[in-house]
Amino acid sequence: MASILLVEDEEAIREMVAMALERSGYRVRHAESAEDAEAALRLSLPDLILLDWMLPGESGIDFARRLKRERATRELPIIMLTARGEEADRVRGLDTGADDYVAKPFSPRELTARIKAVLRRVQPTAGEEAVEIRGLRLDPVSHRVTVAGREIDLGPTEFRLLHFFMTHTDRVFNRAQLLDNVWGANVYVEERTVDVHVRRLRKGLAPTGHDGLVQTVRGAGYRFAAE
Ligand code: CA
């Protein structure tokens, strides 16, 4: 069963969430601050972090940014818990590298559904074949993207997005279609989330010049150009 590190300073929420997750079969560890969480991460890495936005000391956003910068924790999926409803804030949350966010108040059921969706998209099905286009190679089993043997660092969502593009080339997909296919139909994220992750994907592909393969089709969406 997957293990989750819950970082939340409010005791009532922490207990409610921990209980719901344990009931769903997850192993849960908790931390009350970024500092606490860091100590917990040094002991062992969870499969996913549930990270509250507003924490005493270092904020959840800054902590998420830091985790995504460090090699050891870069691949860790993060779901932000946030009390703020404003769209700009949400997108900013995703810009930190968080894979999803859940706004408070949320139901335990909604939360576990989102956790499941994130875990599903970071754990590719075994036996999937590697794809290679114009020297860019993606291996779903080892979860690596390489160019001439050199690894390209991508976040879990960018990896999924690239995998989808590389297996559905030369067709235009609008944002809603990408959300359905890459994020899953039951995940409620705004369409502009797609733009955030496409931007991040291009940035990851830029050093080897593969960013141009992800093309914007004005008024329509995005296309991965294999031809
Ligand atoms: Ca809090």
Lowest mean pLDDT among 97-106, 124-133, 164-173, 206-215: 124-133
Averaged over 101-114, what is the pLDDT?
86
The answer on pLDDT for 17 being more than 90 is: yes
18 alpha carbon to ligand 1 midpoint, in Å? 15
Kindly give the distance from the C-alpha atom of residue 8 to the centroid of ligand 1, in angstroms, as a whole number: 6
Centroid of ligand 1 to alpha carbon of 43 (angstroms)? 23
Taking the centre of ligand 1 as the mean of its atom positions, its distance from the CA of residue 109, in whole angstroms, is: 20
Q: How far is the CA of 63 from the centre of ligand 1 (A)?
A: 13
User: How many Å lie between the centroid of ligand 1 and the Cα of residue 16?
Assistant: 14
Domains along the sequence of the chain with CATH = 3-122 (3.40.50.2300), 131-224 (1.10.10.10)
Helix (H) or strand (E) holding 31: strand 27-31
Can you give the pLDDT at residue 84? 61
What residues does 81 pair with on adjacent strands? 52, 102
- Measure 52 CA to ligand 1 centroid, in angstroms: 6
Share of the chain above pLDDT 90, in %: 52
Predicted confidence band of residue 131 (pLDDT cuts 50, 70, 90): very high
Q: Which residue has the higher pLDDT, 128 or 138?
A: 138
pLDDT (average), residues 138-165: 92
Contact in structure between 152 and 139 (CB atoms under 8 Å)? no
> Which of helix, strand or coil describes residue 212?
helix
Measure 208 CA to ligand 1 centroid, in angstroms. 41
| pLDDT over 80 (residue 123) | no
* Whether pLDDT at 126 is above 50: no
CA of 119 to the centre of ligand 1 (A): 24
Mean pLDDT of the chain: 87
Q: What is the pLDDT of residue 87?
A: 52
Compare 199 and 45 and report the one with higher pLDDT.
199
The pLDDT of 213-218, averaged and rounded, is 96
Q: How far is the CA of 21 from the centre of ligand 1 (A)?
A: 18
Task: Determine contact, residues 6/17, Cβ cutoff 8 Å.
Answer: yes
Q: What pLDDT does 124 receive?
A: 56
Q: Are 121 and 179 in contact (CB under 8 A)?
A: no
CB atoms within 10 A of CB 141: 12
- What is the identity of the amino acid at 79? I
Query: 98: helix, coil or strand?
Result: coil
Q: What is the Cα–Cα distance from 208 to 197, expressed in whole angstroms? A: 18
3-class DSSP state for residue 44? coil
Q: State in Å: Cα 102 to ligand 1 middle.
A: 13
Find the mean pLDDT for residues 121-138. 79
Residues ≥6 apart with Cβ < 8 Å to 91? 190, 192, 193, 196
Ligand 1: centre distance to CA 155 (Å): 25
What per-residue confidence (pLDDT) applies to 96? 73
d(CA 115, CA 28): 13
**This prediction's pTM:** 0.57
Nearest to 147 by CA among 169, 162, 164, 161: 162
Question: What integer pLDDT is reported at residue 190 of this predicted model?
Answer: 81
Residue 182 main-chain phi, psi, to 5 deg: -100, -40
CA distances from 81 to 63, 163, 223, 225 (A): 13, 27, 32, 36
Ligand 1 centroid – CA 14 distance (Å): 10
For 46-69, the three-class secondary structure string (H helix, E strand, C coil) is: CCEEEEECCCCCCCHHHHHHHHHH
| pLDDT (average), residues 65-80 | 88
CA angle 60, 162, 88 (to 5 degrees): 35
**Centre of ligand 1 from the C-alpha of residue 116, in Å:** 23
- Label each residue of 147-190 as H, E or C: ECCEEECCCHHHHHHHHHHHHCCCCEECHHHHHHHHHCCCCCCC
pLDDT given at position 197: 95
Cα–Cα distance, 214 to 8 (Å, whole number)? 37
